Chains A and B, each alone.
Chain A
Amino acid sequence: MPKSIHIDPSETRTRGVLDAASIQIHAYDRSISDEQSVRGDAELIEAYRHMLLLRAFESGIASLKATGSFGDLTYAYKGPAHLSIGQEAAAVGAAMALAPGDHIYGSHRSHSEFLAKGFSAIRRLGDNELTSIMEGHASGQLLRSVETHLSGATPTEMAENFLLLGFLAEIFMRANGFNGGMGGSMHAFFPPFGAYPNNAIVGASAGIATGAALWMKSEKRDSIAVSMLGDGSTGCGPVWEAMNFAGMAQFDHLWDTKGGLPVLFFFTNNFYAMGGQTNGETMAWDRLARIGSGFRADAFHAETVDGTNPLAVADAVSRQRAHLLEGRGPAILDIECYRFSGHSTTDVNAYRTKDEIAAWQAVDPIQSYRTSLIDAGLIEDAAAVEMERQTDALIQAVFRAAADPDVSPIVNIAQDPTLIGRKMFTHGSTPPAHAPSSPLIEPAKVVRIRQNAKKSRSGFDNDGALLSPLKAITLRDGLFEATLHHMLTDPRILIYGEECREWGGAFGVYRGLSELFPNDRVFNSPISEAAIVATAIGAAMEGARPVIELMYADFIGRAGDEIFNQLAKWQAMSDQSLSIPVVLRCSVGSKYGAQHSQDWSGLAAHIPGLKVVYPATPFDAKGLLSASIACDDPVVFFESQRLYDRVEQFQSAVPPEDYHIDIGIPDIKRIGSDVTILTIGPSLYPALEAAELLAAKRIEAEVIDARTLVPFDYDKIIKSLEKTGLLLIVSEACERGSFAMTLASNLTRFAFSVLNAAPHVLGSPNWIVPGADMEDTYFPQPADIVDTVMIDLINDQKHTQIGVRKWNDISLAKEGL
């Protein structure tokens, strides 16, 4: 909503016609001799050798899956085998046109994409660079294995063998695999060769590659990101969100460095999404390339390309790469080819005819290309046969080395039971290498900052009365100050989400930031939660530290895969070769009913790999957000909308300077000796009110604010229980499956010997959040807390229930409630 873009009704209401760009289909018409003069004979012959290597490699996996053996090797490979036999020209052609600094983000059918990109990078990198990369990986251990078992006459040859062994060992989930065995077939990658994560989730690379391109643009790199996708992914919403995000007009209109994102959406179109036929059955498009017209007059330069010819693919990718580096991105390519192998080893081709398969085998990319090389006199028949024999022999040797536990050690969990667990978080904090550019204006001139400077840092006035949120630092201000500090000191911080710029976020947390920072540091995203999160992950993989906002925690569902499968998992799946320092801020609403008021912190806590924070005071919010932004691990940061205007009631002041609070430590907010009330998020405040009501009954409650869910230090709670013997956990999340239940279950075990009664959870009931007028019958109120303490924990027969929760939990459970 920048005021600089005027929407003029007289223009928008004028009669007219929208023109669509023409989309080229199979425009490539160069001859081999044309290519010889451009590329030289050696590159053309190498393309053939690379395709042979890909075919032999995947045929080996196919053979292991089908027969348990390959050549003289017997090995039971248990993992997935999503093969791309028949699609080699697409992978090799793309890689031919990419520089080592260009990064591909793979699909789930990506063995060939990965290997081809690696071979291409190896051809372009110098001997010294290759040696340094290989020595630098895993302290040179993989290179030592290659030297001993596969060798190589030159650094280039050694690097190819290094690539093949590191990749296959990863597919076999061995400790010497590129990702320490933590990734496997669908999550193997090696960034030094520009091969970034491939992805088991169809279409997931679209948003991640878009985010990578976003950071490449910010850093003004001379490189592009490529999202490797299949035709089936055009049915995935997040792919459309990513394409729209990549094409946002603001990159041309509002950013200082003009130009679209340098991302190529490379669709390897094999006509089938597993068994559903995309063309003619499951998609609306007649030709995949047509989807480019859905976005912009230039149709993202979309083209349909003959994916059976590596040179046609290389030509198209080269031209698109040039568009992207000129700032005319994004781009789309529809690479038509055919998968001879099944989708997976359980595929019996129930969805296609033998005639169809045979017709495509007649235009097998490897055979066709070999014929064209022989016809042009580049290679003799006998030499081509010998090359195939050599590549087959090499691949057999690689398979033997990858399967041999003496060369490729099995990941030994029995010997080290928490090994995988230790991959989840680094708990590190990497400072910026340099300071960012100066802000657009002096910070002291920003109204928000000027006002905060005049506010009381304590929430109380001199007479002990609570101050108005206009007169004292609020939780919202604490979040602002933490963010501002990092924005002013760390150029890697990137802030975006819906309405984050001029509006300052829907709840004003960022109010004032847009006066200080240009669009490339704070910008408005489209209403695309999946793209917001996915792009943050991609940008983080390239070195950024995005702080992104989901307007309501209820919208986590719109970014489910991105949060739960991508954000949470890449640090571990990469064996921590990638760090994902993303802070995902989610506000928890109220008053708007069932779809805008849910506390889903327990959902985030359930998924391994996410740190989860939920502060309730200005002091905690500022210190925890600052710690979260500084932290190298992904953090989901919950904020209650009802608490944004809270002033500080517990600490004497919210310090104006930056400070960190360690993530994972609960905090005692009220000392007591009779009952421990552990709260999550905003439940702190009704618990404190209840504590006063209980005090009138001579029951002193100790109120502890969890502050964070993951990690969680139980020691402080156990120590409190040693004193009180009674535990109530209060949370606004509905009770079933909640994090409060996890705490109750664990604390029952950890502190059983000191407990005088079963711990009790007081959450919200297992039905929808009602609208504003009924909310106090839903979220736990002080009266409900008093009732639970008096009836369930103390068993006071004289207590008369004062709250509304007059129901029986066992009966409700029978009704699904």
Chain B
Amino acid sequence: MSQVELIMPELGNEITEAQVDLWHKSVGDSVAEGEEILTITTPKVTMDLEAPATGTLTKILVEEDDIAAIGAVLAIIDR
């Protein structure tokens, strides 16, 4: 078993942070690689982030409405 991190992606050269809007999954849920599990927003865009691996969502590190920097770890998936 290994752990995979869900990272806040690069969103353009002027964007330094984004807001976690809505988790579509809870801790303990199974997720499939490519499945949209989280909605994030910047002032300009709303987008869904996909699970980077198939497994179980074991940790949510940034709660809804909180802001995370680009590159921050948002969640951990065990596979």
Contact = CB atoms under 8 A, between A and B. Distances in A.
Interface of A: 447-448, 450-451, 454, 468-471, 474, 476, 504, 507-508, 511-512, 644-645
Interface in B28-67: 39, 41-46, 65, 67
A480 to B, nearest CB: 11
Interface stretch (B1-9, B18-26, B71-79): B18-26
Contact of A470 (B17, B22, B39): B17
Given A451-B41, A471-B67, A512 B46 contact: yes
A470 B43 contact: yes
Contact of B44 (A451, A468, A471, A507): A507
A468 B67 contact: yes
Task: State the main secondary structure of chain B at its contact with A.
Answer: strand
B67 to A, nearest CB: 5
Nearest to A645: B43
Nearest to B45: A508
Contacts of A508: 43-45
Contacts of A471: 67
Given A447-B41, A451-B41, A468 B17 contact: yes
Contacts of A512: 46
A470 to B, nearest CB: 4
B46 A470 contact: no
B12 to A, nearest CB: 11
Given A447-B21, A470-B18, A470-B19, A454 B65 contact: yes
Given A447-B22, A451-B41, 10 more contacts: A447-B41, A448-B41, A448-B46, A454-B65, A470-B17, A470-B19, A476-B43, A508-B45, A511-B46, A512-B46
12 contacts: A447-B21, A451-B21, A469-B43, A470-B41, A470-B43, A476-B43, A476-B44, A504-B45, A507-B44, A508-B43, A511-B44, A511-B45
Contacts of A476: 43-44
Q: Max chain A CB contacts within 10 Å: which of B18, B44, B46?
A: B44
A804 B44 CA distance: 34
Contacts of A451: 19, 21, 41
A516 to B, nearest CB: 13
Nearest to A503: B45
Contacts of B22: 447
A96 to B, nearest CB: 54
Given A447-B21, A447-B22, A451-B19, A470 B45 contact: no
A507 B42 CA distance: 11
B13 to A, nearest CB: 10
A466 to B, nearest CB: 14
A471 B39 CA distance: 16
Nearest to B66: A470
Nearest to A471: B67
A447 B46 contact: yes
Contacts of A504: 44-45
Contacts of B17: 468, 470
A367 B19 CA distance: 77
B49 to A, nearest CB: 13
A504 B44 CA distance: 8
B54 to A, nearest CB: 24
B67 A470 contact: yes
A476 B41 CA distance: 14
A743 to B, nearest CB: 32
A504 to B, nearest CB: 8
Nearest to B42: A470
Nearest to A507: B44
A775 to B, nearest CB: 14
Q: Report, nearest first, the 3 A-B pairs whose CB atoms are least far apart.
A: A508-B44, A470-B19, A469-B43
B39 A447 contact: yes
A504 B47 CA distance: 12
Contacts of B41: 447-448, 451, 470
Nearest to B65: A454
Contacts of A450: 21
B34 to A, nearest CB: 15
A451 B19 CA distance: 10
Contacts of B44: 476, 504, 507-508, 511, 644
B39 A644 contact: no
Contacts of A474: 43
A149 B67 CA distance: 78
A507 B19 CA distance: 17
A267 B57 CA distance: 65
A512 B45 CA distance: 9
B60 to A, nearest CB: 18
Contacts of B43: 469-470, 474, 476, 508, 644-645
Contacts of B45: 504, 508, 511
Q: Max chain B CB contacts within 10 Å: which of A450, A474, A511?
A: A511
Q: Max chain A CB contacts within 10 Å: which of B18, B46, B67?
A: B46
A454 B65 CA distance: 9
Q: Max chain A CB contacts within 10 Å: which of B19, B22, B43, B67?
A: B43
A645 B67 CA distance: 16
B75 to A, nearest CB: 19
Contacts of B46: 447-448, 511-512
Nearest to A508: B44
A451 B64 CA distance: 11
Q: Max chain B CB contacts within 10 Å: which of A450, A451, A504?
A: A451
Contacts of B39: 447
A454 B66 CA distance: 12
A447 B44 CA distance: 12
B70 to A, nearest CB: 13
A411 to B, nearest CB: 51
Contacts of B21: 447, 450-451
Contacts of A644: 43-44
B22 to A, nearest CB: 7
Q: Max chain B CB contacts within 10 Å: which of A447, A476, A504?
A: A447
Contacts of A469: 43
B40 to A, nearest CB: 10
A647 to B, nearest CB: 10
Contacts of B18: 470
A507 B45 CA distance: 9
Nearest to A591: B14
A596 B47 CA distance: 27
A644 B42 CA distance: 12
